[in-house]
Structure 1
Amino acid sequence: MCNAVLCFRMTSPYFSQNMSVVTRRAEKVARCTAAAALLRSRRRDADAISSVAVKVEKEEVRISQETASLTTQDGSHDRLQLATAPAKLESDALWLSSHGRRRRQIKVEYDEGGSAVKTEHWEPPDWKKQLAHIREMRSSRDAPVDSMGAEKCYDAKAPANERRFQVLVSLMLSSQTKDQVTAAAMQRLREHGCTAEKLMSTDDETLGKLIYPVGFWRNKVKFLKMTAAMLVKDYGGDIPDSVEGLVRLPGVGPKMAHLAMDIAWDQVSGIGVDTHVHRISNRLGWLMKPTKNPEATRKALQEWLPRDLWSEINWLLVGFGQQVCLPTNPLCSLCLNQHSCPSSHQSSPAKLLKVQSALSPCSASSLQVKTESGQETVVYAETINEEPQSVNLTTQRRKLKRKVKH
């Protein structure tokens, strides 16, 4: 009975007409609600615009009063700023009329180059001219480093890995040692067999006789055997191809590592700074501030010196320090940089005699050596292993005079 009544109501024309009336009323109510909401929003916007307009009027009145009291001397710039205020407020009113009460977004603009932090590139004055003069004085390439340096001490006919090992050994022996002594020791080692396997199996006494009298030869015997054992175990008798790997070896410091990378691997990783480069760089004023050790000098030089000169600067300054810019009593009168060098003609004969008398009873083996985690740290004494200053100075001066004339 209920189902029949329900079916009758659903099919009745009266019921269908009432449903359409209800639907039309609901749609009309929804439209009225939307229209009311839109009207309220427009009223809020109109109120906001009117409030902004009132502010503009008040600001114009205030500006007119202030401009009247400004003097002609100081008021031109202020009137320009105050005159732009009404335009700004009007633009705010226009924006508010188009965007309603939404929060305004701020646009950030950057001036070209204005926000960049500029750091000036420091470089010493006249360094290019001084370097050209040093090249001219080193043009004959007759310094000890040119014929007996690490580039000349290895066997050119040996396999590549043996040549690289011999370069490293010659650098280890050259620390605080004259090039003549290092070259003679390397010649004896090559005749004995200068490979990592051979040095590892050689007893300490025999190895000491082969490298004597290099500076700190007892310590270097230990370092050579320890290094050879590490290279055989970890690198198959070859040397590491990175500065990080080289400085882990006993007795190898940053100077040796960078020179080994340049000579053995033909890779420029840094400047090899020894006592000559350290001394001459400070004398020429090539550093922003004086340095106390070669490692600090290396870092300071690499900050400004072009990278394409890093490989050349070592042998240039080393040979220059061996012939002209001596550790004590430098030959400034024969140097082409005597007029631009800040340390020119500042050597003191009295101080020279005092230093020579104090160092005369000493020997290279009596200097202290500090070892830190297997690394050799040498207390530098520049005058110990240099050429004797009293020997052939006259001949040296005559040779340099002839070179300058030609």
Structure 2
Amino acid sequence: LLLISRRGLLALECMPCLVWSFPSSLPCAHSGGCPEPLRHSRPHPKKETDALSLSSHSRRRRQIKVEYDEKDGVTPVKTEHWEPPDWKKQIGYIREMRSGRDAPVDNMGAEKCYDTGAPAHVRRFQVLVSLMLSSQTKDQVTAAAMQKLRAHGCTVENILATDDDTLGKLIHPVGFWRTKVKYLKLTSAMLQKEFGGDIPDSVEGLVRLPGVGPKMAHLAMDIAWDQVSGIGVDTHVHRISNRLGWLKKPTKNPEETRKALEQWLPRELWSEINWLLVGFGQQVCLPINPLCSVCLNQHSCL
């Protein structure tokens, strides 16, 4: 190390672990000349006894190095975990109210609308179709449409071979059935061309399909692929989550609700929560005139 005072150069102390290039006229502090540098070994840390003999200039350097070491190991910023205070109690009450499993979703949901005897890729396609038809449509209507489609032949090839008028009659009266006819045709063509007649096995792939949004994609991953990728948030889950105070701040749409719920709700509940809240919303926590008098959560609802 080169030690310099205000009046000029005092001495040159070499470090064996480094290679320095200085004019030969500079004096070396080692008797007998500088030792050969070690090119492929780490410098040995100074012993505690060495630190005691350091000059004040060296102590300043050591303090600087200590500060550098502290910066090198920056402690991660801790973020505050938020969760609703009574959510476990509220879910327990909802499970109790849903114990009968007699809501429309229990018997006519997407997981009940496919042909159990069909090949796996056909079953997955039928799950996707039922989810596409369910948008803005009651489960009873979706189930009836799927029954007619399965009797007709609900496969990628058969949907593509069916004219629009016939397909419309099969799925009527689901909500926006004319638009859904177009989506079914476009999606079937895309599945045949890009996925060999099967459905994508990722949320990213599913939302590329015409007429498939995040809610449908997450539910398809859960039901068709048995993979929990996120919470399927429909109008029931969105409404009830806001009513129960399960969100740090009110949300405006289902996708905002999904992101907010996933920040605190344990992942092992992501699949169950859709089924719980959809059935609860169909029977008790109705959009209009909810049956608060029979709800076990009436005292903790916002």
TM over 0.5: yes
Superposed displacement of residue 93, structure 1: 9.7
Moved over 4 A (4+): 100-103, 113-116
Alpha-carbon distance in structure 2 between the residues aligned to 1:289 and 1:103: 50
Superposed displacement of residue 256, structure 1: 0.2
Alpha-carbon distance in structure 2 between the residues aligned to 1:210 and 1:114: 62
* Equivalent pairs, count: 253
Indicate which of 128, 132, 139 corresponds to 2:99: 139
Paired residue secondary structure (1:177)? coil
Match in the other structure for 1:234: 194
Matched, 1:340 2:300: yes
Matched, 1:104 2:64: no
Tell me the alpha carbon deviations over residues 33-70 of structure 1, each in whole angstroms, 9 at most, x when there is no partner. Answer: xxxx799xxxxxxxxxxxxxxxxxxxxxxxxxxxxxxx
Larger radius of gyration: 1
Relative to total residues, which structure has the larger helix share, 1 or 2?
1
Indicate which of 103, 112, 130 corresponds to 1:152: 112
Q: Output the TM-score relative to the length of structure 2.
A: 0.79
Match in the other structure for 1:188: 148
Match in the other structure for 1:294: 254
Indicate which of 213, 217, 224 corresponds to 1:257: 217
Please, what is the CA RMSD of the aligned residues? 2.5
Q: Output the TM-score relative to the length of structure 1.
A: 0.59
Matched, 1:123 2:80: no
Give ranges in structure 2 of 5+ residues lacking alignment.
1-26, 30-50
2:167 is aligned with what amino acid? L
Matched, 1:269 2:232: no
Structure 1 residues 103, 322: CA separation in 2 closer, same or farther (over 3 Å shift)? Answer: closer
Matched, 1:95 2:54: yes
Match in the other structure for 2:6: none
Matches within 5 A, 1:11-90: none
Structure 1 residues 330, 96: CA separation in 2 closer, same or farther (over 3 Å shift)? Answer: same
Superposed displacement of residue 104, structure 1: 2.9
Tell me the alpha carbon deviations over residues 173-194 of structure 1, each in whole angstroms, 9 at most, x when there is no partner. Answer: 0000000000000000000000
Superposed displacement of residue 269, structure 1: 0.2
Superposed displacement of residue 117, structure 1: 2.2
Paired residue secondary structure (1:320)? helix
1:246 is aligned with what amino acid? L
Paired residue secondary structure (1:95)? coil
Superposed displacement of residue 237, structure 1: 1.1
| Identical aligned residues as a percent | 79
1:267 is aligned with what amino acid? Q
Tell me the alpha carbon deviations over residues 219-250 of structure 1, each in whole angstroms, 9 at most, x when there is no partner. Answer: 00000001011111111111000000000000
Tell me the alpha carbon deviations over residues 145-173 of structure 1, each in whole angstroms, 9 at most, x when there is no partner. Answer: 00000000000000000000000000000
Paired residue secondary structure (2:228)? coil
Alpha-carbon distance in structure 2 between the residues aligned to 1:265 and 1:234: 18
Superposed displacement of residue 326, structure 1: 0.1
